[in-house]
Structure 1
Amino acid sequence: MEVRILGPVEPSVPPKPAQILAVLAVECGRVVPVERLIDLIWGEQPPPQARKSLQVHISTLRRAGLPVEHRAAGYVLNAAPEDVDLHVFRRLVARAGDEPDLRARAEALTEALRLWRGTPVVFAQTLDVQRLAAAEALVDAELALGRHAEIVEKLGAYVAEYPLAERLRGQLMTALARAGRRADAMRVFRETRKVLVDELGVEPGEQLQQLHRDVLEGARDSRRNYLPRDAGDFTGRDAELSRLLDSDGGVWWIEGPAGVGKSALAVHAAHRLADRYPDGQLFVDLHSPSGALDAVLRAMDVPSERIPEPAEERAALWRATVGGRRVVIVLDGVTSVSQVRPLLPGSPGCLTLITSRSRLCGLEGVRRIPLDVLSSDEAVTLLQRILGDERVANEPGQAAEVARLCGYLPLAVRITGARLAGRAHWPVSKLVKRLSSERSRLDELVADDLAVRSSLELTYRALDENVRRAYRAFGFLGLSEVPSFLWGHLLDEDALDQLVDARLLDVIGSARYRMHELVRLHARELAEAEDPPADREDVVRRAVVAALSTVDGLTEHLFLAVPRMQDSLGVVPTVARPADKDAWFAREEPLLTKLVERAAELGLAEVACQLAEVLVFAWFGLRNRYEAWERSHTAALEAVWRKGNLRLEAVLRCSLGQMHYKRDNLVEARSWFETAQTLFVNIGDKHGEAVAMNGIGMVCRELGEYPSALRALGRARELLESDDPEGVAHALYGIGSIQRDLGDDAGAFETLAGAEAGYRAARSRRGEALAARGIGLVHRARGELDLAEEHLVRAHEMVTGTGDELLGCYTAQALAKVLLRKGSLDRAERLLRQAMDGCRDVGDRFGEALVRRTLGEWRLVAGDHAGAGVLLTEAVTSWTDLGLPLWRARTLRDLGAVHACQGDAAGADRCWDEATRLFTRLGTREAGEARQWPAQWGLAVS
């Protein structure tokens, strides 16, 4: 069904549904959030039942046969762009921009403008700007074809519709003058001046006034200033401006991306330098070298009849004309060096300022000024200068956020400032809200004839199709930066280099590309409009595979709560490892997390899940990167849930349980593990069930729920016995640790020895070190300090070889405690200080509390009773916060000893009584040792 919104909405429906249909048609094929629909249709004060009303209006559209579908986030018009007149209009305008033949260009623009039947019911101002731009482009083509008389009537109609459009009026004056109707052209100028003064209180711009002088005098005075009006609110660029003002002429190439303020800098500098170049200040909006030469020659008072036709002769005449003179000329919008060469003055006393979105290549003797976006402070200052009131000062935080959402791009800041200046009743915060949506941000960055989208469109349409394709792919990927390990699998390097030359990409460091946020939004918008969904998704899928090919080779064997489920997902071939793994991951973590979220957003559940899981064992779990871990897995979980993939859902739930276990959120961790275990049982996945049971067992052990822990770990061992020796070893490690806590030393030795052998057979150095540490702790609990030291030294050396800094903190703490009991206080303290630093670096709360408690024990042995009391009291608070009763009891026992050493019998009794109750309830080995404490520490204070 054809949908027409460039005028009254067709098919015809009631007013509110028509507005909704028009909004959906503008976003054809893209989901429009409910909140944005309500805001666009009802404005700032929607009715209380706006959502209900929206549903009713959507039903009206569906009854009319319109393909409006509900999605999770909002509604979408499921129609092809060629069925919506607005998108046909835009396609025709884009085709005209690519068309070198003037007649074909005029035909395409004429066809596009015929689609307009009146004023659109939504986005009228934004769409009208696009229509005006198309009309001006059509007039340019018609004038270039010499159709001066034929275009006058059409131009008059356009001027009647857009009475404040100076460019249209200038085109009408040009057409009339070239048609021999000088008097009519003069009348148009007088009418224009009256309209502008009456309506806006301003005089016509410099270009229109110059055109008036041309018509009036029939020639130009070469000593006059033909520069556009200088920006009164020009901001920043101090270093660049100083270079230009200090120069002694020559050629300067000012380059930068669309909207960065190249023309503003060139014009501002030219105005400031006007006195030093008294023979002329020229400005050329460059379209073709031939036309530009004609313009500058006439500007220097060369009669038209003396201007030769061949371009080479015009260039020679231009050099002769300015020879010996001092002229400043701004060549604006240069796209290639070939445009510039004929226009360069031969005189050394001249200054040429070139602005271009392309990088300089092949022009000799040129000095280059690259422009980037403004600083945050400069962008806020520009906003304040445009507004000229106290609104920025009243909302400084909101003004800074507007500048950030504009990407500090001068054009975008100028547009937002113009919108706010024209809406005195708007607080700055209102514009923040409107700019916050990525989907609609470019729609908001439009004010009169200024628009970020159209500025970018000019650059984009000048590219070859393969470069455009790379641009769209980069934008759709959703990443602000793309490093070499991704783009090497996705994008052609030549195409990327051309995007760099067009200033749509920047190169950072070695072969790393960055795209400005607003440019990325434009590229993504074009990808969604021009590329098939399958092609778009394939870009993201290939990016995830490229990331996996690097990250999967960096995975580590971690023993947290759950071993990695090696068979849960496909394994991707690896590539070369980065030289510095930690530095690489620290740099790439935001990008990799965003890539998981982007894949999940597009429904690429399997690859999103795979990358999220691999990242746990490569980085998140190793360095306790909890925020990225949770973000990636929550996004992937939502995607697999939508797909109904129960196995992947269980895998991700296990991993989130692992994360909460690591964060010491034990009750929440158990909930995740239990849900995963139920899912695995329901789908008959015994290996998955065992992995989840391992997690449940380790959580229950930490909570002191030993019977439940032994049942879970025993079940995991049973299920894993035949196919996962490493998983069996992990279950044995948990069982042996519980046996040690309960005082079953013989059972603990046997079980932990089995775990050690299993880890060794699996070639897991980390696991072997973990089991050796466990055996050492049994010896330590039995008072067998030499044997304990032997095992713990071996464990610590093995861990040091693996690079697992966190596990190294635990082996260091365990060894330090043995050294402490053997009287080696200095060695013990060094190990404990190192362990504390390591735990703090990765935010391990359990480790910090454990080391703090051991430092308290160290102070107790060293005779610093007050210091010991402070550290142990802090540790007790930590164990309480973490919900770990066994560790609270152990630390209370130590704190009781401090009170005893200080002669505080009552304080010691309070601590020991609570510790005894906890040990007894838990059934641990310490329950039978409680009677010895008073005598042990009473002897110490006597």
Structure 2
Amino acid sequence: MSTTAFGDFLRFYRSRIPLTQEELAERTGLSMRAISDMERGRTLTPQFRTVQLLVGGLGLEGEEAAEFTALARAGRISAAEDKPEVPAVVAAAVASFTLPPVLVELTGRNTERTVLDGFASEADASSRLQIAVIHGAPGAGKTALAIDAGHRLGARFADGCVFLDLRGTEAEPVTPDRAAHRLLRSFGVDDRQIPDDPDDKLALYHSLLRERTVLLVLDSAANEAQVRPLLASSPGTLVLVTSRKTLTGLDARHRLALGLLPLDRSVELLRVVTGPRRLAAEPEAATRVAELCGGMPLALLIAGNRLASRPQWTIAHLADQLEDEGRRLSVLRAGDLRVRAAFEISYHQLSPGAATLFRRLALVPGPDTSADVAAVLTSFGEEALDELADASLLGISETPGRYTLHDLLRVFARERLELDEDPADVREVTSRLRHWLLTTATQAARLFDHDNPVQDKESAGRWLAMELENWRGALRSAVTEGEHDRVLELAQAMHWYSDMHGIGELWREVFRAGASAARHLGHPRDTAEQLNYLSWALYALCGQPHEALAVHEEAAAVPADDILTEAWTWYYGSAIRRRLGQADQAVRLGRQSVALFEQAGYLIGENLALSLLGLMLHTAGELGEAVEVQRRSVAQHRGAGGDEQLLSMLLIRLATSLAAAGQVPESLDLLDEAESLFLRHGTTAGVARVRHNRGLVLMDAGRLVEAREQLVSALGEARLSDHRVEIMARLAELADAAGETGKARELRVRALAECDRYDTPAVRGTAAKLTVALSH
């Protein structure tokens, strides 16, 4: 470091920390006047003891301490009246040294680093001031990213980097007046040259900022009002503002929402803090710790520090501690770093309404929420949601209108709910939310009932899909609470909706709960009905025909005394027998089902049973009769003006039998009609089923390129248990035909892995063929 006046260096080192003269006086025991005289050059020969106190108070070590002492000894100090302007080299040094050190290597933020590099490049080429806001949840690592940017990018700005902590999370954030004072000192302005009047001070700051090109980092901003006075037109300058709040009122050129780290980067941050050997010894436990920290850098840093400071601990021990939600936030502390404390700061800054909503969001069963759900929890409405989102206590979902709550924030919200609300109120709100979710889900699902056709089901289907985890969680809670009527009501309503939506595990749970509720209520017919639906979920979606058969036999043994219930029992029994390879029994039960539906005069059931009987006959090799009964099914349904999506299912079955009978053009026409109907209603699972069947028809007709296109399109949305296996096996054959042996092998390996999920004769046969093909 070049030599200059002792007072200049004293001021420089003090500003670097930064400290006011008063604060340095308190730290060293010297008088504020003595420090002022030395900085202004009035004291020419400071005493050795005074210099040593300053060395300690300023935290100087090594060469800096030696040079500072030498300057004092040489007495090279200028008088205050003749004090020259601070040399440019010193001013640049002041700016660069205001940055805090990098204590932990920034990990997992390469994408964000690249974005900030782009901001800096744009500032360099721009003729106007560039402002970038970095916002995110407590503990997301905003300050760490900004400090990293300062160290990396500061040299690209002619006058370096200036860092100022605005202390926006503290009870008394830095005022714009105080901030301007500190920034002026960073620019090398002497305290006695800084005006006392706040407006004059800001005017001086603005004039100096306009003359400089800097990277100005304003860390931890409280709000827009704190930041705006610190902005000025300064071509080439980039202002990075970090805040827990989104600062939407700030006219920022750039915004960077700092999200949570994905699992692989979370593990990498743990590795950086804890050490590679430690993690290499327990990779699975390390992954558990990373998952339980939810990708939050602060939590990961604390977890890593706890492990590093406790070499006797296994990582599995820490993971076990974190598994307990009641202890998780207490475990995530290391020295003065505490996840709970970081959350409390933001929580206590909320308005009463937003704080109430935040607490009660812990009661929402699923990972995200909406304004409708929030309205059930509180009377404060969307304004409270917006406040929580602006404070980064809620995340904005990729689905418009929905909000997400981080796992650790959910744990904290539950803590505050227990601390801040009356238990009776919590019970009332919990019941209110559960009942609203169940009632709304039941009403939405009933719109899909083919007995009461409704043209517009789009909004109901969208609600059921978006709120799936919430109404499913409400169902589980209702089962626990013994609310059998509500459970049964929801399960009954879901019958037709389940035909084209949701996965097997969902419907296995719903209809099993429905059957149990019906038993508790002493309703035999409802019990048999729910068991029938459960058997369908088991054989059609879960690939468990043996379990489905056991449930079917249980349903058949229930004395329902109802023709329709018996008809449905044989309908599902027929499909199960086909899955088990018992074609003759499947046909017999199918005929019984058709007869019972005819006897009951229930046309929808009759048409479905005829269509299914055709499928059974097709499997048994009776193609002529299969086509005949399926044509009858379609004709009757058209004549009655039946539901379009149900018609689509009948058309697919007929098309499949027609193709097998050699009537390919008519088969493809029917599939086209079915697809257009599914597309009209936005039923992606139905579209996938059409394309799956069209691919098979085209493949058998030798139109391989078209077949491949259809099967690839169907694979991602294939819903029934064995369809994915069939699609991948056929695609492997097509890859072989195209000479793509590597692709064919990959598809067969994937198909074989999928076979393990399903226990049917057809899938076992496919698995055997795949194994043989892979062995060659």
Structure 2 length-normalised TM: 0.63
SS in 2 for 1:238: helix
1:597 equivalenced with 2:472 (yes/no): no
In 2, distance between residues paired with 1:184 and 1:478? Answer: 64
Number of residue pairs aligned between Structure 1 and Structure 2: 608
* Residue identity in the other structure for 1:524: R
In 2, distance between residues paired with 1:184 and 1:649? Answer: 95
Give the structure 1 partner of residue 385 of structure 2.
496
In 2, distance between residues paired with 1:780 and 1:238? Answer: 61
1:234 equivalenced with 2:106 (yes/no): yes
- Cα deviation digits, residues 671-691 of structure 1 (max 9, x gap): 77xxxxxxxxxxxxxxxxxxx
Shift of 1:393: 3.4
Shift of 1:385: 2.0
In 1, distance between residues paired with 2:237 and 2:631? Answer: 79
Shift of 1:176: 5.4
- The 5 A counterparts of 1:369-518 are 369-483=256-370, 486-487=373-374, 489-490=376-377, 492-507=381-396, 508-518=398-408
- Cα deviation digits, residues 379-421 of structure 1 (max 9, x gap): 3332222223322334444434433322222222212221222
- Residues 631 and 239 of structure 1, relative CA distance in 2, 3 Å threshold: farther
1:368 equivalenced with 2:255 (yes/no): yes
8 Å CA contact retained: 1:386, 1:417: yes
1:794 equivalenced with 2:632 (yes/no): yes
- The 5 A counterparts of 1:116-131 are none
SS in 1 for 2:507: helix
In 1, distance between residues paired with 2:720 and 2:594? Answer: 28
- Cα deviation digits, residues 68-113 of structure 1 (max 9, x gap): xxxxxxxxxxxxxxxxxxxxxxxxxxxxxxxxxxxxxxxxxxxxxx
- Cα deviation digits, residues 49-81 of structure 1 (max 9, x gap): xxxxxxxxxxxxxxxxxxxxxxxxxxxxxxxxx
SS in 2 for 1:228: coil
SS in 1 for 2:261: coil
8 Å CA contact retained: 2:163, 2:217: yes
Give the structure 1 partner of residue 683 of structure 2.
none
- The 5 A counterparts of 1:604-619 are 605-606=483-484, 609-610=487-488, 613-614=491-492, 616-619=494-497
In 1, distance between residues paired with 2:620 and 2:230? Answer: 93
SS in 2 for 1:439: helix
SS in 1 for 2:325: coil
8 Å CA contact retained: 1:277, 1:350: no
Shift of 1:362: 3.2
Shift of 1:358: 1.5
8 Å CA contact retained: 2:140, 2:260: yes
Match of 1:520 among 386, 391, 410: 410
- Residues 510 and 323 of structure 1, relative CA distance in 2, 3 Å threshold: closer
Structure of higher RCO (CA pairs closer than 8 Å, 6+ residues apart): 2
Shift of 1:289: 2.4
Shift of 1:511: 0.9
In 2, distance between residues paired with 1:577 and 1:412? Answer: 44
- Residues 654 and 253 of structure 1, relative CA distance in 2, 3 Å threshold: same
In 2, distance between residues paired with 1:267 and 1:774? Answer: 67
- Cα deviation digits, residues 717-772 of structure 1 (max 9, x gap): 3xx4xxxx74476579799999x989999x99999556325243xxx52x121454
Give the structure 1 partner of residue 444 of structure 2.
553
In 1, distance between residues paired with 2:103 and 2:587? Answer: 84
Shift of 1:186: 7.7
In 2, distance between residues paired with 1:389 and 1:577? Answer: 54
In 1, distance between residues paired with 2:725 and 2:234? Answer: 74
- Residues 653 and 292 of structure 1, relative CA distance in 2, 3 Å threshold: farther
Match of 2:507 among 629, 637, 650: 629
- Residues 373 and 847 of structure 1, relative CA distance in 2, 3 Å threshold: closer
Identify which range, 436-445 or 749-758, moves more after superposition: 749-758
SS in 2 for 1:390: helix
In 2, distance between residues paired with 1:535 and 1:307? Answer: 56
* Residue identity in the other structure for 2:394: L
Give the structure 1 partner of residue 423 of structure 2.
533
In 1, distance between residues paired with 2:282 and 2:354? Answer: 42
- The 5 A counterparts of 1:779-858 are 790-796=628-634, 802=643, 803-804=645-646, 808=650, 812=654, 834=693, 841-844=718-721
Shift of 1:500: 1.6
- Residues 255 and 229 of structure 1, relative CA distance in 2, 3 Å threshold: same
8 Å CA contact retained: 1:809, 1:834: no
* Residue identity in the other structure for 1:228: P
- Residues 305 and 332 of structure 1, relative CA distance in 2, 3 Å threshold: same
Give the structure 2 partner of residue 755 of structure 1.
597
In 1, distance between residues paired with 2:185 and 2:27? Answer: 19
In 2, distance between residues paired with 1:381 and 1:600? Answer: 41
- Residues 281 and 629 of structure 1, relative CA distance in 2, 3 Å threshold: same
- The 5 A counterparts of 1:164-243 are 175=26, 180=31, 190=56, 223-224=93-94, 225-235=97-107, 236=109, 237-243=112-118
SS in 1 for 2:560: helix
- Residues 483 and 635 of structure 1, relative CA distance in 2, 3 Å threshold: farther
In 2, distance between residues paired with 1:547 and 1:437? Answer: 29
- Residues 177 and 696 of structure 1, relative CA distance in 2, 3 Å threshold: same
* Residue identity in the other structure for 1:502: A
SS in 2 for 1:334: coil
Give the structure 1 partner of residue 162 of structure 2.
281
Shift of 1:285: 3.1
Give the structure 1 partner of residue 202 of structure 2.
315
- Cα deviation digits, residues 253-293 of structure 1 (max 9, x gap): 22222211211121122222343344663323331323323
8 Å CA contact retained: 2:634, 2:650: yes
Shift of 1:786: 7.8
- Cα deviation digits, residues 691-734 of structure 1 (max 9, x gap): xxxx65765xxxxxxxxx6xx5xx433xx4xxxx7447657979
SS in 1 for 2:326: coil
- Cα deviation digits, residues 339-398 of structure 1 (max 9, x gap): 012222454454422111112333336432222223433333322222233223344444
In 1, distance between residues paired with 2:265 and 2:550? Answer: 50
- Residues 449 and 789 of structure 1, relative CA distance in 2, 3 Å threshold: same
* Residue identity in the other structure for 1:795: S
SS in 2 for 1:374: coil
SS in 2 for 1:467: helix
- Residues 592 and 742 of structure 1, relative CA distance in 2, 3 Å threshold: closer
* Residue identity in the other structure for 2:387: Q
Match of 2:148 among 268, 278, 288: 268
SS in 1 for 2:255: strand
Unaligned 5+ residue runs, structure 2?
A: 1-16, 36-48, 66-77, 168-172, 578-582, 672-689, 697-710, 730-754, 766-776
Give the structure 2 partner of residue 29 of structure 1.
none
In 1, distance between residues paired with 2:573 and 2:264? Answer: 60
Give the structure 1 partner of residue 229 of structure 2.
342
* Residue identity in the other structure for 1:597: R
* Residue identity in the other structure for 1:263: T
- Cα deviation digits, residues 867-889 of structure 1 (max 9, x gap): xxxxxxxxxx99x97799xxxxx
- Residues 486 and 171 of structure 1, relative CA distance in 2, 3 Å threshold: farther
Shift of 1:498: 1.7
In 2, distance between residues paired with 1:367 and 1:647? Answer: 63
Identify which range, 405-414 or 780-789, moves more after superposition: 780-789
Identity, % of aligned pairs?
Answer: 25
